[in-house]
């Protein structure tokens, strides 16, 4: 057993039974197993459990042995402050810290079939990009495959947005703010940025959007970066944040973004400053997005967005950089925002009033460039090249939802391959 395998089993719920009990004998119901975090910090984020008729929301940390918590020195790390459950393969020692905080420990050794270890190792040894790689022929792609796959993705994303709308009283502007925050966080900080956004009552954010300094102060303060100001500008942000906390009676919440494995232009400091500038510049942002008729309209909205002057010669607080340059949004970054946030929300907002919206949204995707990533490189190696974002988004969605899950019998490409090779 290793920690990577344990995370895999937890993520895919590979257990012989789900009658979980903590090490004290209390029944533990896992309402939401959380989202697998492959970066620094807790292993699973935004989870929910129920124990002793109390529902808890937060993060879950996994270890092979409970003593690994001590060995990995998590105790004084603030990234682990919101742990609600410690999951271990074997409970070899009690952790005093968990007992003091009433954090349960769940041991999995009796919930895992020993045969699964060998099966998992076999899966890890799989070298093919997709299961049908030896039979695949780009010419066998069904007609309208790209359109149908992308619409499936849009509909799934739309259902997620509608769930959020129920949580936030049908406030599309708030949902746009949360979704944009997610996109600005990129892969490493997406969930964290969304948590920061959701921790702010959007009416408060909306009231101060004419004051960019206050917008930054609010985002930086919640991120825990203003506790010890290191220069005059940080002192200004701290003063504004303290004022906002008192005026709007803001809760004492700290949600720390990550810097690990990020290039300086993608540091969360810059991205949150750019997010603040976007809302400062565009006072009617939601309306402009909904009224956009083509991709040029979208690019016009984002083209002048930049981090504040402080960040011209900084990447982090208090540390002057040798590079002095305005930190603007690149065209590639704007396209990612359009693909992952703007178009799904525009589709959701119009889909019940405009019968033509699906075709209109597909046209937007066709106007945008194909992304570049490892998944698309895999398709390219099979002689399947993408011409635009509609095709690339479709293939990414199909790979994640069909190919990686070996869901070949429900795959339109797989069906065509099987049919033609077996003369059905």
Q: What are the tens digits of pLDDT across the range 330-388?
A: 999 999 999 999 999 999 999 998 889 999 999 999 999 999 999 999 999 999 999 99
Query: Whole-angstrom Cα distance, residue 327 to residue 335?
Result: 17
pLDDT-based confidence at residue 421 (cuts at 50, 70, 90): very low
Q: What are the tens digits of pLDDT across the range 22-41?
A: 999 999 999 999 999 988 89
111, with CB counted inside 10 A (0-12, 13-18, 19+), is middle
Q: Which two tokens stand for residue 337?
A: 């925002």
List the single range of 75-84, 112-121, 188-197, 368-377 with lowest mean pLDDT: 112-121
Q: pTM (2 decimals)?
A: 0.75
């Amino acid at each position: 057993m290793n920690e990577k395998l344990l995370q895999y089993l937890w993520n895919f719920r590979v257990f012989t039974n789900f009658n979980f009990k903590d090490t004290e004998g209390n029944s533990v119901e896992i309402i939401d197993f959380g989202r697998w975090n492959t970066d620094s910090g807790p292993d699973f984020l935004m989870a929910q459990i129920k124990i002793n008729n109390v529902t808890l929301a937060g993060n879950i940390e996994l270890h092979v042995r409970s003593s690994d918590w001590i060995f990995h020195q998590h105790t004084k790390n603030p990234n682990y402050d919101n742990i609600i459950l410690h999951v271990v393969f074997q409970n070899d020692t009690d952790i005093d810290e968990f007992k003091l905080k009433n954090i349960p420990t769940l041991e999995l050794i009796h919930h895992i079939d020993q045969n699964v270890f060998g099966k998992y190792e076999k899966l890890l040894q799989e070298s093919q990009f997709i299961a049908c790689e030896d039979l695949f022929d780009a010419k066998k792609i069904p007609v309208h495959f790209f359109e149908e796959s992308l619409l499936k993705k849009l509909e799934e994303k739309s259902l997620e947005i509608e769930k959020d709308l129920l949580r936030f009283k049908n406030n599309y502007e708030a949902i746009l703010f949360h979704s944009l925050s997610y996109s600005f966080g990129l892969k490493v900080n997406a969930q964290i940025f969304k948590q920061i956004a959701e921790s702010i009552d959007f009416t408060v954010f909306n009231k101060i959007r004419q004051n960019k300094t206050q917008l930054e102060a609010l985002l930086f303060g919640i991120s825990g970066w203003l506790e010890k100001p290191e220069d005059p500008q940080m002192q200004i942000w701290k003063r504004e944040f303290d004022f906002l906390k008192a005026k709007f009676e803001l809760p004492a919440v700290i949600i720390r973004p990550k810097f690990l494995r990020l290039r300086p232009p993608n540091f969360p400091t810059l991205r949150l400053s750019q997010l603040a500038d976007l809302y400062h510049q565009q006072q009617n942002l939601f309306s402009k997005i909904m009224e956009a008729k083509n991709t040029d309209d979208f690019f016009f909205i984002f083209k002048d967005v930049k981090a504040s002057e402080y960040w011209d010669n900084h990447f982090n607080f208090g540390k002057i950089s040798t590079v002095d340059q305005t930190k603007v949004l690149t065209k590639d970054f704007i396209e990612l925002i359009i693909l992952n946030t703007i178009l799904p929300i525009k589709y959701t907002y119009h889909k019940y009033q405009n019968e033509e919206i699906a075709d209109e949204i597909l046209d937007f995707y066709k106007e945008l460039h194909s992304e570049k990533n490892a998944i698309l490189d895999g398709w390219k190696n099979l002689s399947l090249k993408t011409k635009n974002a509609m095709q690339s988004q479709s293939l990414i969605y199909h790979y994640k939802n069909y190919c990686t899950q070996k869901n070949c019998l429900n795959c339109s490409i797989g069906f065509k391959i099987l049919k033609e090779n077996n003369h059905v």
